[in-house]
Amino acid sequence: MLIERIINKYKTISIVGMAKNAGKTVTLNALLDEAYESQVTIGLTSIGRDGERQDLVTQTEKPMIYVYEGTLVATSESLFQMSDAKLEVMEITDFHTPMGKIVIGKVIFPGYIQIAGPSRNSEIMSTAEKMRDFGANLVVVDGAIDRKTTASPSITDATILSTGAVLSRDMQTAITKTVYQVALFNLEKTEDVSIRAIADQAIRNNEITVIGETVKALDIKTALNAGHTIGAALKDDSTAILLPGSLVTKTVMDMIKTNHHYKHVTVVVRDATRIFIDYKDWIYFEKLGVRIKVLDSINLLAVTINPTAPEGYYFDRESYKNQLAFYLKDLPVIDVMS
């Protein structure tokens, strides 16, 4: 059971998907059922929109969400009124979404519900805290489409990744994409104490910082479009570059084109949700000797799979699951659709 890996270990977990229709909501429902059986009070919210019958983007049927008595939910005003479950209002927050203010409620009488919580990470964090104050043992943040930033350790303590046949008609391609995403989530953490100490300050001040014999903050506000500037700032004695924001392919590409110093420098980002490099570019950078590490790795609890795609094709259940499990080694792979 999933819940056994979670209770008493984590306070807030996220469910993120590789794509739409990867099975996030089915995973969520399974978790809600398990939590109910284990008498764990859940606080539930979503950065996207969940529980509506028809998908807004693809117009396909979506699973509904059933909440039990005592569950806390954070959803938008308009959906709060439409819910089939009976809810007691605990707090009306100041968080605005295009669907109204976010309301936190407690389920008095079980039933179906639609969830559209805050869309911003900062608001997700404070909503999670509020729900814990109202008595939730575990807060679950459901994802939206292919958004993964809620998996950031600064937002949630642990993550479940949902993936499926929807990624590609070719099973090998679908597996490769998922294995790469898991590898990013498990990216090696820098253990260098001095780097970590400097990183704290760099993040607080939002400073791109080069570490060598001296520590130097660069005079740029973002690494986006600034790969050349970063490359030029690397010297013979440089050992690491700290990026408080994102790392995209172009930044790395421009950095390595500028000079050869990148070969003895570790690029340090906060966590894997800041990395926007696709698989092929990553392999290329690896071959050139680019080293990328994180300050915080993501606690990936499990990968859930949906072997059927909404386009109508499907993978062989067993071989899909077994192959993925083979590459992911110790990580549990759960077929939520069976």
Partner 1 sequence: MSSQVDLTKVKPYGDTLNDGRMQFSFTLPVPFGDEADEAAKQLLIKMGIEEPSIVYSEDLGVGYTFFTAYGKCQHTVDYSSIEVPKVDVEIMDKYGVEDFIKEHIKRDVVIVGACTGTDAHTVGIDAIMNMKGFDGHYGLERYHGIEAINMGSQVPNEELIAKAIELNADAIVVSQVVTQKDVHILNLTNMIELIEAEGLRDKIILICGGPRINHELAKELGYDAGFGPKTYAEHVASFVVNQIVDRNMI
Q: Which is nearer to partner 1, 154 or 258 (CB)?
A: 154
Rounded to the nearest 10 degrees, what angle do helices 249-258 and 279-288 cross at?
20
Q: Is 146 in the site for partner 1 (CB under 8 A)?
A: yes
Closest CB 266 distance from partner 1, rounded Å: 19
Stretch binding partner 1 (CB under 8 A), from 53-61, 106-114, 164-172, 291-299: 53-61
- Give the CB-side neighbour count of residue 170, counting CA atoms within 13 A: 4
Closer CB to partner 1, 144 or 182, in the complex:
144
What character string, x for contact with partner 1 (CB under 8 A) and - otherwise, covers 270-309? ---xx-x---------------------------------
**Residue 92 region by backbone torsions, left for phi larger than 0, else alpha for psi between -120 and 50, else beta:** beta
Smallest CA-to-CA distance from 149 within 277, 6, 271 is with 271
Pattern of binders to partner 1 over 100-119, x per CB under 8 A? x---------------x--x
State yes or no: residue 248 binds partner 1 (CB under 8 A).
Answer: yes
Token pair for residue 98?
């295009």
Compute CA 283 distance to the chain's CA centroid, rounded to the nearest angstrom: 22
Minimum distance from residue 328 beta carbon to partner 1 (Å): 23
Report the distance separating Cα 278 and Cα 288, nearest Å.
16
Q: What is the four-CA torsion angle of 36, 42, 47, 48, rounded to 10 degrees?
A: 30
Work out which of 3, 226, 255, 305 binds partner 1, going by CB under 8 A. 226
147 lies in the site for partner 1, by CB under 8 A: yes
156 binds partner 1 (CB under 8 A): no
60 within 8 A of 54, measured Cβ to Cβ: yes
**Residue 250 in the binding site for partner 1 (CB under 8 A):** yes
Interacting residues with partner 1 (CB under 8 A): 20, 47-49, 56-58, 76, 78, 96-100, 116, 119-122, 144-149, 206, 221-222, 224-226, 244-246, 248, 250, 273-274, 276
